[in-house]
Amino acid sequence: MTPSSLLLTGCAQSLRCLSAWLDKACEEADDADALMGLRLAPDMFPLASQVRFACFQALEPCYRLAGHPVADSAVAIRNEGAAAGETAGTFAAAQARIAETLTMMGAMDHGAMDAGAQRAVALDLPMGMIFDFESGEAYVRDWALPQFYFHLNAAYAVLRHHGAPLGKVDYVAYALPCLRPGTAPGG
């Protein structure tokens, strides 16, 4: 499997799980939109931000590996996430961002991304910090994937902490087709 396939497949599977977690939490909630403002701690970004940041973190490495500037549409998702502490938005908007991100990821040029695996990547953060990675592979391993999974895990933790009926099977639902028949607990 190529670096682009690993990145795109892994993030896409996890974003689909995130969408399913939101749906599951919504089924239990009195007010689905109120879910978007939930957090684990007062100084933490709310669920709405975690969803948008996960979407951005899935997209950003695609552009960087391909050697392109991050698209304005992806930056807009990140900026929405940063503003969600003040305006969390709606459940429908969060689901729309996930769907939009999956569509954008599906349009990425795998060949261009794979070509960037050995190219150095400079990462300029909005607050002025700059990281220089010796290769696209190091950037994905040491920054992009940890950032993506940080926000994915934060979203899972917020939902779980606030009563969403989620478990490990929800986190790795994409792996269930690989489960050997008769080996599940109680099965």
**pLDDT for 53-105, tens place per residue?**
999 999 999 999 999 999 999 999 999 999 987 788 899 999 999 999 999 99
Residue 98 backbone phi and psi in degrees, to 5: -65, -45
| Tokens 């701690």 belong to residue | 41
Confidence band, pLDDT 50/70/90 cuts, at residue 184: confident
What is the biggest distance separating any 2 CA atoms in the chain, rounded to whole angstroms? 53
Say if residues 40 and 157 touch (Cβ distance below 8 Å).
yes
16-40: per-residue pLDDT in tens?
A: 999 999 999 999 888 999 999 999 9
Taking the CA atoms of 89, 93, 95 and 97 in sequence, report the sign of the dihedral they define: negative
Domains of the chain: 3-178 (1.20.120.450)
Taking the CA atoms of 102, 115, 146 and 80 in sequence, report the sign of the dihedral they define: negative
- DSSP reduced 3-state for 131: strand
DSSP of 63-96: HHHHT-PPPHHHHHHHHHHHHTTT----HHHHHH
**Burial, 126: exposed, middle or buried (Cβ in 10 Å; 0-12, 13-18, 19+)?**
exposed
Taking the CA atoms of 40, 45, 49 and 51 in sequence, report the sign of the dihedral they define: negative
Confidence band, pLDDT 50/70/90 cuts, at residue 2: confident
The span from the first CA to the last CA of the chain, in angstroms, equals 32
As a 3-state breakdown, the chain gives helix, strand, coil percent values, each rounded to 5, of 65, 5, 30
pTM over 0.75: yes
- DSSP reduced 3-state for 149: helix
Say if residues 87 and 42 touch (Cβ distance below 8 Å).
no
CA atoms of 51 and 45, how far apart (whole Å)? 10
